[in-house]
């Protein structure tokens, strides 16, 4: 039986659910963002923007919940035999991912606010705009949103590459402890 909370050797069901739900959501938001900006004007483009923004705001709420959950739980440490620079690299990537998970939706929220566009999350909740209407601010936020996308691509490549290296080359439990139901080897 899997535990909801983390233990000193593995991530609990709560952290795993947040991790994989957000992984799926972020991949979808990135793909949608890429496709929608390259689409010609029309109903489909409009609808994809609406889904992208709703998903993005949902991810902002989830990352805040995730930070609270992390703070309320112990975190399983990296294996002691891991070289210091690798430990540093892994923790650096994790910090960068939290920063990106916050700043990516926030910059998107600023783009939308600066355009003074109404924001309704999946047709359920109306969200107020953050900033006054401003073309200059919108352009800046848009540049930052795009730059953060490339930042995400870079850090995710390292994060996923690292996880696969641990699983298939070093053959340790790092990936397994973020997967449901498998006991450590």
Residue 28 burial by CB count (10 A; 0-12/13-18/19+): exposed, middle or buried? middle
Nearer to ligand HEM, 26 or 90 (CB): 26
CB of 98 to ligand HEM, least distance (A): 12
Q: How far is the CB of 26 from ligand HEM (least distance, A)?
A: 5
Q: How far apart are CA 155 and CA 103, in angstroms?
A: 14
The smaller minimum CB distance to ligand HEM, of residues 119 and 174, is found at 119
Which CB, 12 or 151, lies closer to ligand HEM? 151
Helices (H), the chain: 13-37, 43-72, 84-114, 135-164
Stretch that binds ligand HEM, among 64-72, 83-91, 107-115, 161-169 (CB under 6 A): 107-115
The DSSP 8-state label assigned to residue 152 in this structure reads H
Which position has the token pair 């209407």?
133
Residue window 48-87: x/- pattern of binding to ligand HEM, with contact defined by CB under 6 A? ----xx--xx-x----------------------------
Q: CB nearer to ligand HEM: give 2 or 27.
A: 27
> Could you tell me the two tokens for 122?
């999946």
- The residue behind tokens 């490549």 is 157
Cα–Cα dist 113/104, whole Å: 14
What residues numbered 155-184 form the site for ligand HEM, per CB under 6 A?
none
- How many residues sit close enough to ligand HEM to count as binding (CB under 6 A)? 22
Using CA atoms of 146, 52, 140, 150 in order, give the dihedral in degrees to the nearest 10.
-10
Q: Residue 108 contacts by C-beta under 8 Å, 6 or more apart in sequence? A: 52, 53, 56, 141, 145
Of 129, 149, 151, 163, the one binding ligand HEM by CB under 6 A: 149
Strand partners, 127: 119
Q: Does 131 bind ligand HEM (CB under 6 A)?
A: no
Tell which positions 3-42 bind ligand HEM, by CB under 6 A: 26, 29-30, 33-34, 37
- Catalog residues that contact ligand HEM under the rule CB under 6 A: 26, 29-30, 33-34, 37, 52-53, 56-57, 59, 104-105, 108-109, 111-112, 119, 142, 145-146, 149
């Amino acid at each position: 039986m899997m535990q909801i909370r983390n233990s000193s050797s593995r991530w609990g069901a709560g952290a795993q659910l947040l991790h994989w739900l957000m992984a799926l959501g972020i991949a979808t938001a990135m793909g949608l963002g890429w496709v929608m900006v390259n689409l010609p004007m029309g109903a489909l483009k409009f609808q994809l923007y609406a889904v992208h923004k709703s998903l993005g705001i949902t991810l902002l709420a989830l990352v805040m919940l995730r930070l609270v959950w992390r703070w309320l739980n112990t975190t399983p440490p990296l294996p002691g035999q891991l070289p210091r620079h690798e430990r540093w690299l892994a923790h650096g990537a994790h910090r960068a991912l939290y920063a990106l998970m916050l700043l990516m939706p926030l910059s998107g929220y600023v783009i939308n606010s600066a355009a003074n566009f109404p924001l309704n999350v999946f047709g359920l909740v109306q969200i107020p705009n953050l900033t006054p209407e401003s073309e200059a601010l919108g352009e800046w936020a848009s540049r930052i949103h795009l730059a953060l996308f490339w930042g995400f691509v870079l850090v995710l490549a390292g994060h996923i590459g690292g996880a696969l290296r641990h699983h298939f080359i070093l053959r340790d439990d790092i990936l397994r402890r973020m997967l449901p139901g498998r006991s450590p080897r």
